[in-house]
Structure 1
Amino acid sequence: MKNPDKALIVAALLIVLALFPFKDRILEEVVLLNQVEVLSKKIVSTYFYPVSREERVHLLKDSIKKMNEMQEKISRSIVAKYFINFQDLIQESEENLLVLENQEFYEDFVSFLTSKLANVIASRRFSNEQLLQLGHLIDQEFTEEPNQSTYLFDRDESNDQLFFEIIHHQNIHSIEEARFQLFVDKASGDIFRREPIILRVSSEKNLSEYITLKSS
């Protein structure tokens, strides 16, 4: 009976010898895969930090440029081109860029996603720390479906009043008021040092119909 360990070693040596002429290309593939991973993480991370519309436009343009450059490298690769393709993401990013460039409403606001992909739009009057804390609170209090709503946070210029709005994707009658009351109470107590907050909860199906809650 042949020694299986010896057989494996011989097979490995044969593979190494067969691939030796292509060692530089193999190293290039490894480097390319590492570059793809770094770029992908960088692109994704930009969505989870509060930035203005102008900053988001700049980030998207930069990401599109880098993805196109990476796609060219991938198309010339030996292996990566069969597994990695940025084309769909490039197209989606270009569509998002077009929408952003035409959104005047968000001129004085910042936006970001929470870790559970809830969409947050907020006034520049909040610090990034406050917004990230609010994002964490959203994920904590609406654990089942945080991404089923859009969260708007504002502070009135005239009286400094905190005003929050949550636009739910479901019908207003399916909303549990107690959950939203708990959210606004925690936001007031844990993040804004007991500042009073007015919260309006509405449905995207009918924005004229809503409920209003106040922090206690």
Structure 2
Amino acid sequence: MMTNLFSSFDPTTSFNLSLNWFSTLIGLLIIPSMFWLIPSRMNYLWIKILTILHKEFKTLLGSKIKGMTLIFISLFSIILFNNFLGLFPYIFTSTSHLAMTLSLALPLWLSFMIYGWINNTIHMFAHLVPQGTPPVLMPFMVCIETISNIIRPGTLAVRLAANMIAGHLLMTLLGNTGPSMTLFMINFLIIIQLLLLLLESAVAIIQSYVFAILSTLYSSEVI
């Protein structure tokens, strides 16, 4: 019970400890750590990776829309983070589900299409018929190119989800056979599981890069 009107401002909690002062440090969590801590080797490595990605995306996109590489670097980062989180035990792998991958691919592709057809309509029509196509094949090429454009978000989403779930499924199936194995076979199984874990780590990096680079290529066609 409050003794006076200002007792709610007292720096104490229910444990009679002055833990409320920790709220002063909450602002430091919002500020990126590289501004107030000495950057570690991991920070330098991550900044180096982002710089390389920025240069590569900028080469593909050109300089028509400044700052657009930030979208694809953020996309790469969030997919990579979720892919690696899924490698830890008892952590849900969100990128192995189409609900997650489609929610990343579909709005991105839709925004590219809307932007392209509104601002570069002639350019978008020209993309439907590749250069050098014989006049007889033009109607078929338009149908093929239209279908390939429509299925792009689906292929992006399915590729990421299938690759992430395939490795996890294989590791789970192999792990479930452990109790029925001999001691020698269990040691052999552990080696295989470690190799598969290494492979999955590589897949986590490659698939996030593939998703980001294909999104960049699709956007470069409509600009």
**Into which bin does the TM-score normalised by the smaller protein fall?**
under 0.3
- Higher helix share goes to which structure? 2
- Higher strand share goes to which structure? 1
**TM-score, length of structure 2 as denominator length:** 0.27
Q: Which has the higher contact order (CA 8 A, sep 6+)?
A: 2
**TM-score, length of structure 1 as denominator length:** 0.27
